[in-house]
């Protein structure tokens, strides 16, 4: 007999009984004319955006609340890392260690990566 989830709580209960997921992906996604890469490496899903502005736009238009996303990722053993031009700026999910800065800013269970934030804000050289 297969249980059907009717609430978010039911869904998490079903997910928690399953083994951890492993992801193998190499995608290019386009949203509102902005292309970005999504790559999966076992238990890490990296979303690499072309600019800090694109990251903020994706943040504003997120389809689910960050606490729900973090909980769902952690429940299946996955970590999502948001990168800007290759520099990791935010991590959430299984391996994320929520930072005090994120908590102070009211961002929830996110790990802000200060070094990556600085690199993301640095103009491109070349």
Convert the pLDDT of each residue in 2-41 to its tens digit. Answer: 556 677 767 666 666 666 778 888 999 998 888 999 999 8
Three-state DSSP class for residue 112? strand
pLDDT of residue 32: 85
44-78 residues labelled b (16+ CB within 10 A) or e (exposed): bbbbbbeebebbeebeeeeeeebeebbbbbbbbbb
**Quick one: average pLDDT of 44-66?**
84
How is the beta sheet containing 79-84 ordered, strand by strand?
23-31, 34-42, 44-49, 79-84, 87-93, 111-112
**Quick one: average pLDDT of 97-117?**
84
pLDDT of residue 1: 40
Domain residue spans in the chain? 20-121
Report whether 94 contacts 74 (CB < 8 A): yes
Phi, psi of 75 (to 5 degrees): -65, -30
* In the predicted structure, residue 125 carries a pLDDT above the cut 70: no
pTM for the whole thing?
0.75
10-39 residues labelled b (16+ CB within 10 A) or e (exposed): eebeeeeeeeebebeeeeeeeeeeeebbeb
């Amino acid at each position: 007999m297969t249980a059907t989830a009717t609430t978010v709580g039911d869904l998490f209960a079903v997910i928690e009984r399953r083994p951890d997921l492993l992801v193998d992906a190499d995608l290019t996604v386009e949203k509102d004319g902005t292309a970005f890469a999504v790559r999966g490496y076992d238990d890490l899903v990296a979303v690499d955006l072309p600019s800090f502005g694109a990251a903020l736009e994706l943040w504003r238009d997120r389809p689910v609340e960050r606490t729900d996303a973090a909980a769902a990722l952690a429940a299946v053993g996955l970590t999502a890392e948001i990168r800007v031009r290759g520099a990791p700026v935010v991590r959430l999910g299984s391996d994320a260690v929520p930072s005090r800065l994120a908590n102070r800013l009211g961002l929830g269970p996110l790990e802000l990566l200060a070094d990556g934030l600085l690199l993301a804000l640095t103009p491109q050289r070349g």
